[in-house]
Amino acid sequence: MRPVSLLPLILLLAASVGFARPDVQTAAEGLNHPWALAFLPEGDALITERPGRLLRLDPTTGERAVITGTPEVDARGQGGLLDIELHPAFADNRYVYLTWAGACERGNATHLGRGRLSGNQLIDFETLFVATPCVRSTKHFGSRIVFDGEGYLFMTTGDRGERDRAQDLNDHNGSVLRLNDDGSIPADNPFFGRDDALPAIYSFGHRNPQGAAIHPQTGALWIHEHGPRGGDEINLPTAGGNFGWPETTYGREYWGPQIGPDSLPGTIAPIHHWTPSIAPSGMDFYTGEAFPDWQGDLFVGALAKVHLAHLELNGTEVISEERLLTDRGRRIRAIEQGPDGALYLLTDHANGELLRLQ
């Protein structure tokens, strides 16, 4: 049976505990709907802007330069240049990975590609994977990417606003995909070799996952995804797992009716959900020294409820939740721990900011 939401009680308890309040600084502003960031070993941040620009930015001075050699994007609706990640062996191979909404036959799709960073240019950029089929839609691209400890790349895809795709194993949309670093498909994927399923799919039944992180102790993949009217979820993808959308969800249609039951045999329940919705985007586990009390805690951005969610964990159970930065009114799109141990946030606005919590 799915867990009952204890959010009101959790928020009350969190407020009474009195977590440390961080110092919030504006490291940069004037960003055009920034979507994701990754830190280079020397400390600069690579930041994607949804309209299609990739920046190299010094978070101490705010100085920035445009990175050339990026792909052409379909920047309509929720689409455009999306996530960014460095190869685990970036210091040796200089590979930078990007996802984006790209035009293709009969519509567009979530693309994955990589190039080598040389100065302020991506050289030899190549498309590695396209989440087919192409769809005539401008929403629900998903599109977070993360490497696990074994070097496999996980890529999330949304249902493209056409919910039944999430239950179709011959459709990449509404899934978590597992790939090798060159975009090929691992032979030990759960559906590899089957005629009735696409081999890149790792888990399915996802609506629009826009957060992904690897747990620092267990090495497990954690994601979160947007629900409709309520029912935002934190899920722990498993090989071949069905996470239910749209057959089961805490969310409701935007005009009110129920979509499906809260639980359903054969599907995997979320470990946490937000009802009403906060519209989560971006997530990271904190492992730095700047906030010792936060080590091992999870941080999630909120677009609709404009705050930073701080979740204290006991294993996979959320035992308290605090809402930070509620007074700023900022849509928080991405979260990344910096090499200095600070938390960095991107705010999703036409005049977006890079915020530093330290």
Q: What is the CATH number of the domain that holds 198?
A: 2.120.10.30
pLDDT tens by residue, 80-109: 999 999 999 999 999 999 999 999 988 999
Residue 118 falls within a domain, yes or no?
Answer: yes
> What is residue 22's predicted lDDT score, i.e. its pLDDT?
87
Residue 181 falls within a domain, yes or no?
Answer: yes
> What is residue 251's predicted lDDT score, i.e. its pLDDT?
97
> What is residue 338's predicted lDDT score, i.e. its pLDDT?
97
The three-class DSSP label of residue 138 is coil
Contact by Cβ (8 Å): 205, 244:
yes
- Whether pLDDT at 1 is above 90: no
Residue 92 falls within a domain, yes or no?
Answer: yes
How high is the mean pLDDT of the chain?
95
- Whether pLDDT at 324 is above 90: yes
The three-class DSSP label of residue 172 is coil
Contacts for 183 with CB less than 8 Å, ≥ 6 apart: 112, 128, 129
* Active-site amino acid positions: 140
pLDDT tens by residue, 273-289: 999 999 999 999 999 99
Residue 1 falls within a domain, yes or no?
Answer: no
Spatial CA neighbour of 225 closest among 132, 120, 104, 140: 140
Percent of the chain clearing pLDDT 70 (strictly above):
94
Residue 120 falls within a domain, yes or no?
Answer: yes
- CA–CA gap between residue 57 and residue 356 (Å, rounded): 13
- Whether pLDDT at 348 is above 60: yes
> What is residue 106's predicted lDDT score, i.e. its pLDDT?
87
Residue 2 falls within a domain, yes or no?
Answer: no
Total of domains in the chain:
1
> What is residue 20's predicted lDDT score, i.e. its pLDDT?
54
Tokens of 60: 């101490």
Range of the domain at 310: 7-357
Residue 263 vs residues 48, 112, 282: alpha-carbon distances, Å: 37, 33, 26
Residue 347 falls within a domain, yes or no?
Answer: yes
The three-class DSSP label of residue 34 is strand
Residue 313 falls within a domain, yes or no?
Answer: yes
